[in-house]
């Protein structure tokens, strides 16, 4: 478990160095954080500023993708299947007021206002790699808190073996629901030990600002060692279950998307290789880098799967 940040660690601004800032620093003859570079209007972080602590032990030192890349190249099928659709169309999502229903095998259940869910949670910044099953990746400075500290508050019983998460499904706000591309609402799940792992994050922001709608406002999961589709957006329900939940992607294509979905360069998707990935914004369109087991988090999480055949449980 991570400790709460000391007041001296609290910082309203961030430790990240976006590629734009890095380039600006190089162009100016030194690495100066915040040096100006003629950025496009779309590359200025916007939205409510958050206050958070730093969590360097959980953060990669790789360069973060730019705000523009992180907020305009998205998968959020409730707003369409094109990468540009969420940024264009997610303005119709109303994120306040927001309620989260807690249900299933837990002592404390019911409907909770988002403010209540967040009460007492110390926010911290964690710079994580996100590896999409489509073989591209980004580095994103999230702001959030460990899912474990939320789960403890609701006191799951000994029968709770899994956690199921559900996204809002309101056709009035989400034009993508008209398409049957997935079985709505979007559902994801974790085994309890995965959910309790200190790397598993409930995100409420990125780049020091409240989450933009297209990135899953106001509350989303981030599981950095799994393919991006496990990181479910705009969560309205969290249920503790005895049986393994069926996830939307498993229901859509069970041979292609498993429940575990751990990033694994040795287990190909039936239609393409998972050995390499394209880092968005880095190099040419054709540059690829090697994909790492568990997306580079093997030291922290491989133990969760000891003795499991990861080719079978993909
Ligand atoms: N959550 C919901 N509700 N709907 C989605 O379509 N797409 C997933 C995941 N969470 C998705 C979702 C996929 S495939 C990825 S790669 C990540 O969100 C992308 O997160 P980002 O757009 O913030 O980078």
pTM of the model: 0.91
Here the tokens at position 116 are 């209540």
Atom of ligand 1 nearest to the CA of 167: 3
Cα of 83 vs centre of ligand 1, distance in Å, is: 10
* Torsion angle of the four alpha carbons 73, 77, 80, 84, in this order, in degrees rounded to the nearest 10: 0
Cα of 74 vs centre of ligand 1, distance in Å, is: 7
d(CA 226, CA 194): 10
- The CATH number of 10-37+52-305 is 3.90.420.10
pLDDT of res. 126: 97
Pick the residue whose CA is nearest to atom 17 on ligand 1. Answer: 228
d(CA 136, CA 285): 11
Pick the residue whose CA is nearest to atom 19 on ligand 1. Answer: 75
Neighbours of 280 (CB within 10 A): 17
* Residue 51: partners with Cβ closer than 8 Å, 6 or more residues away: 10, 12, 123
Q: Provide the residue ranges of all domains of the chain, joining segments of one domain with +.
A: 10-37+52-305
Residue 223: closest CA among 249, 245, 244, 196 = 196
Residue 76: closest CA among 184, 162, 223, 204 = 184
294 ligand 1 Cβ < 6 A: no
Say which DSSP state 279 is in. Answer: E
* Residue 30: partners with Cβ closer than 8 Å, 6 or more residues away: none
Q: Which of 229, 230, 253 to mutate to test the pocket of ligand 1 (most atoms within 8 A of CB)?
A: 229
Confidence of residue 75 (pLDDT cuts 50, 70, 90): very high
Atom of ligand 1 nearest to the CA of 221: 10
pLDDT in tens, 3-45: 444 433 444 455 666 665 655 555 544 444 444 455 677 889 9
Q: Which of 28-32, 62-66, 75-79, 287-291 has the lowest mean pLDDT?
A: 28-32
Task: Give the mean model confidence (pLDDT) for residues 119-133.
Answer: 97
pLDDT of res. 284: 85
Mean pLDDT across the chain, nearest whole number?
91
Confidence of residue 296 (pLDDT cuts 50, 70, 90): very high
Task: Give the mean model confidence (pLDDT) for residues 191-215.
Answer: 98
Task: Give the mean model confidence (pLDDT) for residues 50-68.
Answer: 95
* Torsion angle of the four alpha carbons 47, 15, 126, 102, in this order, in degrees rounded to the nearest 10: -30
């Amino acid at each position: 478990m991570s400790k709460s940040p000391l007041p001296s660690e609290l910082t309203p601004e961030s430790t990240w160095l976006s590629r734009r800032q890095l380039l600006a620093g190089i162009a100016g003859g030194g690495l100066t954080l915040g040096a100006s570079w003629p950025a496009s209007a779309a590359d200025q972080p916007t939205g409510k500023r958050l206050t958070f602590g730093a969590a360097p032990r959980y953060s990669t030192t790789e360069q973060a993708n730019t705000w523009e890349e992180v907020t305009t190249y998205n998968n959020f099928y409730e707003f369409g299947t094109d990468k540009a659709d969420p940024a264009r169309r997610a303005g119709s999502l109303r994120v306040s007021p927001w309620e989260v229903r807690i249900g299933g095998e837990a002592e404390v259940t019911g409907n909770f206002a988002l403010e209540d869910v967040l009460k007492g949670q110390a926010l911290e910044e964690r710079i994580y790699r996100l590896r999409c099953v489509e073989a591209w990746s980004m580095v994103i400075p999230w702001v959030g808190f460990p899912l474990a500290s939320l789960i403890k508050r609701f006191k799951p019983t000994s029968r709770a073996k899994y956690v199921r998460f559900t996204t809002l499904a309101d056709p009035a706000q989400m034009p993508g629901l008209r398409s049957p591309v997935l079985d709505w609402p979007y559902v994801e799940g974790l085994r309890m030990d995965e959910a309790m792992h200190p790397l598993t994050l409930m995100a409420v922001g990125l780049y020091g600002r409240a989450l933009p709608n297209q990135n899953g406002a106001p509350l989303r999961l981030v599981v950095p060692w799994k393919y991006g589709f496990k990181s479910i957006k705009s969560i309205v329900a969290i249920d503790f279950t005895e049986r393994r939940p069926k996830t939307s992607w498993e229901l859509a294509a069970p041979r292609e998307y498993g429940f575990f979905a751990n990033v694994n360069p040795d287990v190909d998707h039936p239609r393409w290789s998972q050995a390499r990935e394209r880092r968005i914004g880095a190099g040419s369109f054709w540059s690829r880098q090697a994909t790492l087991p568990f997306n580079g988090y093997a030291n922290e999480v491989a133990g969760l799967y000891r003795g499991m055949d990861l080719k079978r449980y993909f």
